[in-house]
Amino acid sequence: MNTKRNILLIYTGGTIGMIKDSETGALQNFNFDELLKYIPELNLLECNIASHSFLEPIDSSNMNPDFWVEIGIIIEDNYDTYDGFVVLHGSDTMSYTASALSFMLENLTKPVIFTGSQLPIGDLRTDAKENLITSIQIASLYRNNKPVITEVGLYFEYKLYRANRTTKVNAEHFEAFDSLNYPPLIISGVKLSINFPVLLKPNWNKKFVVHKILESNILLVKMFPGINKEIINHIFSYPNLKGLVLETYGSGNLTNEKWFLKAIKKITNKNIPVINVTQCFGGGVDMSIYNTNKEYRTIGIISGKDITTEAAIAKLMFMLGQNISAKGFKTKFETSLRGEMK
């Protein structure tokens, strides 16, 4: 006899939780207590579903680390009561939030699945129903009385990805997300096809911990031809800067103009970590390929390897909140903590 799993839906906001007003046609949030009214198919799932909504659902463009902590606390408070969690979130910043939660939730031994939609749940052609139903099914997957997924995942358009490997790649198509440097964990077809070898393996003996301190005084700079010396020197002079992520060309290439090297060296001399990530969706950073990077290697720039920009930002905020020594920061950042890099 199958045990009915208890799943908690956490609604933060976003298109998936909206319906069209019958009179005005405008989108509005609906009461998640009435979820079965809009998706009666949920009655067919072999699990018990409860929901928890933010007091005020937010647009994902307004997402910030305070909300990440709020999600973490909801999961922490309900961790022993539920077998899995599904977080409903706007798609625009979902990869950022899901990546952050992957670092904040240490020693996770239950599924935390992020999902959303491109069209509202009440729309005739909505992708919300399939995304939500399958996310709940995945959160309910257990084998030998243990969950199949024990990490933070992101499910969209028939694929479950490791959340901290994802990037939103399309604003219009239902296939809104991709993970070019890591294969899908599950592909949904006639059956759920689980790629067991690539799943994150938990340590069942360690205590679950939710980290709530994140440092957001960081900066993201994307390299481009013609980047301006005066502007760079101005923004790099911000007195409370705690970390810098550089989105660089190709395999991690940076201009070797002396003024830029000097600006970066000024930051690293203050023991402020500088992370090198590629602008490309696929592949990663290898600073040994081109001679232009020779001097940057000597001043301690940290290689982001094949990490996404979203995960790099989340990991940097997380690690800066852990009071890690400047000496050990580079080694730890270049080490995979939650399967976010090679």
- Known catalytic residues are 15
Compute φ and ψ for 314, nearest 5 degrees. Answer: -65, -45
The 3 state secondary structure assigned to 279-336 is: CCCCCCCCCCCCHHHHHHHHCCCEECCCCCHHHHHHHHHHHHCCCCCHHHHHHHHCCC
State how far the Cα of 337 lies from the Cα of 68, in Å rounded to an integer. Answer: 18
Listing DSSP states for 26-66 in one string gives -EEE--GGGHHHH-GGGGGSSEEEEEEE-SS---GGG--HH
Structure tokens at 223: 């390299």
Cβ atoms within 10 Å of 155's Cβ, excluding its own: 29
Q: Look at residue 294 and give its three-state secondary structure.
A: helix
